[in-house]
Chains A and B, each alone.
Chain A
């Protein structure tokens, strides 16, 4: 050690000289760097960043198709093309539509609503690893990222819902009071999706392989969620426990509810049992569970 250092040490000699570093830290109220705040403090910080969440989601929406010539038109084209592909395969080629009235709005509702969950999960999984620069540069509660991505997907879904409204009307279905149910259904699904996005964000941040695996898991989930066919016709043939399990699927519940809200031809009797209780339960369990799970590893994001 050089003489300079010793000279400095002599300069520092003051009332605090006898204290150990830990005691000195305690005396001046310093805390261990990068330690996770309490859940309440974390929620307060998150609430403070609500403008950031909104602005980030909107900014993402604006730039999403900025490199393509058609630009924002893709916002509407993407869901339409998606529905067209499934219509080609499941209606024209496989004739799965037999026995389902108004198959086109039925299919489109399923595709659009499931797509919201799918996109939220996929972008949530990558939300930490894709934003390492931002995470390492600025201090903010990291949960803002998966939440902002979910809000971004919700904005896109609202565009899709406009398209869907037109499809429903063109199919000859009437506008009913049930359309008002769209708002609570979207809010419940968005809460559930945000929780799921946060859950996957933590897993995706630790295991980067997850981003490769997710598309397969999501596809399996999609086929189980009655996007293309009426699951209750299958569930009735299964043992009771398996049928209950299939009907408890949150994606299925939100899709069925949305169909019930939008389409006059879908009766309340076709919905799974206790469907509203399940929709609220999934939103609360998914939302809160994902939030707490994400917060538990808050100090570890962006490390390494």
Chain B
């Protein structure tokens, strides 16, 4: 970090705190390749005749397409870092997070983590038929809290999510929530516990401005509690406000990895030129 940046981060109260001085690795990604196997692409898996002809011809599997989503990336994330992942659609950002969370097995290479990384994505629905209230309790219990801890945290979670700002929504089933409300509640539940590694996949972009501000503060707190936060977002301003380090992925490869300001700038210049 050069002097100019140091000045910036001191003068700029909204900016992310500087990178931690002590370096304790929490996530090590070592030459990781991720290959998706897509079955039945264009082979008419659903049709009975094609299934029958497959059986007659003794062809064991329908057409198999391989998608090489991540092509060998390596990086090490440290305690107290907030790492932003940027890149155009389909560059492998979400896949990388899923692999760190242990949800996707690397085809080659390895991911080493400290504790259990928690992945929080926009698509991660909790239990839609249950009320928000029950979802909060169940989510907390699933993370291993006791009833006493849930009682203690419950009000904070509801207040933080802002679900009850427009009436008593917390006692309605989650399927009646807007996508933004659902994402807010899910984030609030996940953020109620200290995670060694918390990964957030565009969950913040669905919230309104006030919620975004609260979440950014919470992410800063989580980092202080000696965790590592990964954030995937298409909003460069969110990345700038929250992350002290940014990794730019393109076509499944790391194009740049460094202080947020430099990498985001480079990414913006590159996007403008396209």
B129 contacts the other chain (Cβ, under 8 Å)?
Answer: yes
Within 8 Å CB of B231, what residues of A? none
Within 8 Å CB of B36, what residues of A? 304
Determine chain A's interface SS by DSSP, over half rule. Answer: helix
B235 contacts the other chain (Cβ, under 8 Å)?
Answer: no
Within 8 Å CB of B103, what residues of A? 34, 136, 302-303
Within 8 Å CB of B23, what residues of A? 12, 14, 16
Partner of B255, one of A2, A55, A136: A2
A4 contacts the other chain (Cβ, under 8 Å)?
Answer: yes
- A21-B112, A134-B127, A136-B103 in contact; A2/B256 too (CB < 8 A)? yes
The complex places the Cα of A27 from the Cα of B129 at a distance, in Å, of 45
The stretch of A96-104, A137-145, A166-174, A264-272 that contacts the partner chain: A137-145
A42 to chain B: closest CB distance in Å?
13
Does A51 lie within 8 Å of B147, measured CB to CB?
A: yes
The complex places the Cα of A144 from the Cα of B256 at a distance, in Å, of 41
Does B114 lie within 8 Å of A30, measured CB to CB?
A: yes
Does B74 lie within 8 Å of A11, measured CB to CB?
A: no
- Contact pattern, A 175-201, Cβ under 8 Å of B = 1, otherwise 0: 000000000000000000000000000
Within 8 Å CB of B123, what residues of A? 133, 136
Does B142 lie within 8 Å of A52, measured CB to CB?
A: yes
Does A22 lie within 8 Å of B30, measured CB to CB?
A: yes
Partner of A59, one of B26, B100, B105, B127: B127
Does B119 lie within 8 Å of A136, measured CB to CB?
A: yes
- A63-B129, A136-B124, A139-B118 in contact; A34/B101 too (CB < 8 A)? yes
The complex places the Cα of A4 from the Cα of B5 at a distance, in Å, of 14
Within 8 Å CB of B126, what residues of A? 133-134, 137
A221 contacts the other chain (Cβ, under 8 Å)?
Answer: no
Does B144 lie within 8 Å of A22, measured CB to CB?
A: no
Count chain B CB atoms within 10 A of each CB in A20, A136, A140, A299 and give the residue with the most.
A136
A29 contacts the other chain (Cβ, under 8 Å)?
Answer: yes
Does A30 lie within 8 Å of B256, measured CB to CB?
A: no
Does B112 lie within 8 Å of A11, measured CB to CB?
A: no
The complex places the Cα of A12 from the Cα of B20 at a distance, in Å, of 12
Partner of B1, one of A11, A29, A33, A131: A11
The stretch of B84-92, B130-138, B206-214 that contacts the partner chain: B130-138
- Contact pattern, B 249-262, Cβ under 8 Å of A = 1, otherwise 0: 00000111111001
Using a CB-CB cutoff of 8 Å, which residues 49-75 of chain A contact chain B?
Answer: 49, 51-52, 55-56, 59, 62-63, 66
- A24-B28, A33-B113, A63-B129 in contact; A48/B144 too (CB < 8 A)? yes
Query: In chain A, what residue has the closest Cβ to B246?
Result: A4
Using a CB-CB cutoff of 8 Å, which residues 20-58 of chain B contact chain A?
Answer: 23-31, 36
Partner of A24, one of B25, B102, B124, B190: B25
- A52-B138, A136-B119, A139-B118 in contact; A25/B102 too (CB < 8 A)? no
Residues of B near any A CB (own CB < 8 A): 1, 23-31, 36, 74, 76, 98-105, 110-114, 116-121, 123-127, 129-130, 134, 137-139, 141-144, 146-147, 173, 186, 190, 245, 254-259, 262-263, 266
Pull 16 A–B residue pairs with CB atoms less than 8 Å apart, ordered by A. A2-B255, A4-B258, A4-B263, A24-B28, A29-B114, A32-B113, A33-B99, A33-B101, A49-B141, A51-B146, A56-B142, A131-B127, A134-B125, A138-B139, A139-B118, A302-B103
Known: A1-B255, A4-B262. 14 other contacts (CB 8 A): A1-B256, A2-B255, A4-B258, A7-B262, A16-B25, A24-B28, A29-B114, A32-B112, A33-B101, A33-B117, A45-B144, A51-B147, A59-B134, A136-B121
